[in-house]
Amino acid sequence: MKKLLKLSTAVAMITTLSMAGTLDDVKKAGTLKCGVNTGLPGFAEADSKGTWRGMDVDFCRAVAAAVLGDAKKVKYVALNAKERFTALQSGEIDILARNTTWTNTRDTTLGLNFAGVNYYDGQGFMVPKSLGVKSAKELDNATLCIQSGTTTEMNLADYFRANGMKFKAITFDTNEQVDNAFFSGRCDILTSDQSSLYASRTKATDPSKYIVLPDVISKEPLGPVVRQGDDQWFNAIKWILNAVITAEEKGISSKNVDDAAKNSTDPEVRRLLGAEGTMGKNIGLDGDAFMKVIKQVGNYGEMFENNIGENTPLKIKRGLNALWDNGGLLYSPPFR
């Protein structure tokens, strides 16, 4: 009945709705509808209580904290790879945070905008330590386990051809089968996106016997996506992402954010936390919106460490996802 009522009001307000901005819609609804993966270790998963958690989930929470003042006000919509863009285009979700690779075609032809990158992924290799391999360049004549029909297969062939090396591939239908084949020794090397290699590694009887090689043979920048043509919302998402990166750069974490807001003398920190200037208001949020994000969810480093970092079973190294002054690619334009 409630649904029906909602439906009829929705029909009555078609014209006004399609004109209004997403930001106002979210504020009015009081919940953020966030599209996430149907299950990807470390990025979107449910714990034993049925609570969502992960890198992408944390980004949803950050947006909810900034826009609604409460990180819990998120409605998670689990989407598979095929329906994710439709869900965003049709307005079923307000933002898509579902490990989606930013590519030219997606950005320019789907009526969508990528608001930045929250994880730099890329296809890599995992080998048993006993193999004694240090770099992907030494993999000539290797036997690899891969999942069939994915871009993984294409990237692999390209990489080996470009480097004049030969390989033998054993293909499997599902991720599960690929992992089993690798750990039972049917192939020397497992190849997939690095984040999923780390997840596979935890399935080994002794994970410490395997290493993920540092080489990355494809670029997979994953980031939040919004609808094109809503610049206010686009700006808000972009700068929420920048805020968590800047917070890490400035050493502001969920633990010291209250103190920093009162006592910090760094003008950029003061602007970020809303102690001076109108950074939050400029994008239609409260003055202390970014402060709420950092207090409730944390800075980028905290999101990383809580979900996929060294203290989690995944044990992913920062690598490309370190700050720019630490050898990584994370770089936020200044808050001024």
Partner 1 sequence: MAVYELKPTKQPPLSERGAIAWIRHNLLSSPFNILFTILSLWILYIIIPPMVKWFVLDANFVGNSKAECTGDGACWIFIREKFKIFIYGFYPESEQWRANLTMGLGALTVALAVIDRVPRSIKIASILMLPVVAIILLSGGYFGLAYIETNQWGGLLLTLVIAAVGIVLSFPIGILFALGRQSKLPIIKTLSVFYIELIRGVPLITVLFMASVVLPLFFPEGMDFDKLIRALIGITLFQAAYVAENIRGGLQAIPRGQYEASEAMGLTYWKRMRLVILPQAIKVAIPNLVGSFISLFKDTSLVMIIGLFDLLSMVTLTTNDRDWLGLSTEGFVFVAIIYWIFNYLMSRYSKNLEKKLDTNNKD
Q: 278-284: long-range contacts at Cβ-Cβ below 8 A with a sequence spacing of 24 or more?
A: 279/239, 279/335, 280/66, 283/232, 283/235, 283/236, 283/239, 284/23, 284/232, 284/236
Residue type, 70: D
Yes or no: say if 242 and 268 are a contact pair by the CB < 8 Å rule.
no
Q: Which of 2, 164, 206, 265 binds partner 1 (CB under 8 A)?
A: 2
Instruction: Using the minimum distance from each CB to partner 1, give the nearer residue, 45 or 249.
Output: 45
Identify which of residues 87 and 181 has a Cβ nearer to partner 1 in the complex: 87
Contact 118, 243 (CB under 8 A): no
Asked if residue 98 lies in contact with residue 118, where contact means CB atoms within 8 angstroms, the answer is: no
Determine how many CB atoms are found less than 10 A away from the CB of residue 115: 26
Give one DSSP letter per residue of 290-321, joined into a string. Answer: HHHHHHHT--HHHHHHHHTSTTSTT----GGG
CA 4 to each of CA 7, 8, 18: distance values in angstroms, whole numbers, following the listed order: 5, 6, 20
Answer for which of 65, 146, 199, 252 binds partner 1 (CB under 8 A) is 199
- Residue span binding partner 1 (CB under 8 A) among the ranges 44-52, 130-138, 139-147, 217-225: 44-52
Site string for partner 1, 92-131 (x = CB under 8 A): x---------------------------------------
State the number of CA atoms in the 13 A half-sphere of 117 facing the CB.
Answer: 20
Residues numbered 283 to 312 that lie near partner 1 (CB under 8 A) are 307-308, 312
Minimum gap (Å) between residue 287 Cβ and partner 1: 28
* Residue 78 contacts partner 1 per CB under 8 A: yes
| The binder of partner 1 chosen from 30, 49, 104, 141 (CB under 8 A) | 49
CA distance 238 to 109: 20
Please report whether residue 326 would count as binding partner 1 according to CB under 8 A: no
Tell whether residue 202 is a contact of partner 1 (CB under 8 A): yes
Residue 11 binds partner 1 (CB under 8 A): yes
Does 25 sit near partner 1 (CB under 8 A)? yes
Strand 123-128 versus strand 95-96 pairing type: unpaired
State which of residues 69, 73, 89, 268 lies at the interface with partner 1 (CB under 8 A).
89
Q: Which amino acid is at 167?
A: F
Q: Give the span between the Cα atoms of 271 and 288, in whole angstroms.
A: 9
Binding string, residues 151-190; x marks residues near partner 1 by CB under 8 A: -------------------------x--x-----------
Q: How far is residue 58 from each of residues 23, 53, 97, 304, measured CA to CA in Å?
A: 19, 7, 9, 9
Give the whole-angstrom CA distance, residue 87 versus residue 311.
34
* From candidates 23, 32, 34, 45, binder to partner 1 by CB under 8 A: 45
| Distance in angstroms (rounded) separating the CA atoms of residues 241 and 74 | 17
7 binds partner 1 (CB under 8 A): yes
Q: By CB under 8 A, which span of 36-44, 123-131, 134-142, 158-166 interacts with partner 1? A: 36-44
* Residue 91 binds partner 1, judged by CB under 8 A: yes
* 79 near partner 1, rule: CB under 8 A: yes
Burial of 35 (0-12, 13-18, 19+ CB in 10 A): buried
- Which CB, 3 or 262, lies closer to partner 1? 3
Considering only residues 77, 190, 226, 244, which one is a binding residue for partner 1 as defined by CB under 8 A?
A: 77
In the complex, what is the shortest distance from the CB of residue 224 to partner 1, in angstroms, rounded to a whole number? Answer: 18
Instruction: Kindly tell me which of 82 and 262 has the beta carbon lying closer to partner 1.
Output: 82
Contact footprint for partner 1 (CB under 8 A)? 2-3, 6-7, 10-11, 14, 17-18, 20, 25, 33, 38-42, 45-50, 75-80, 82-83, 86-87, 89-92, 176, 179, 199, 202-203, 307-308, 312-314
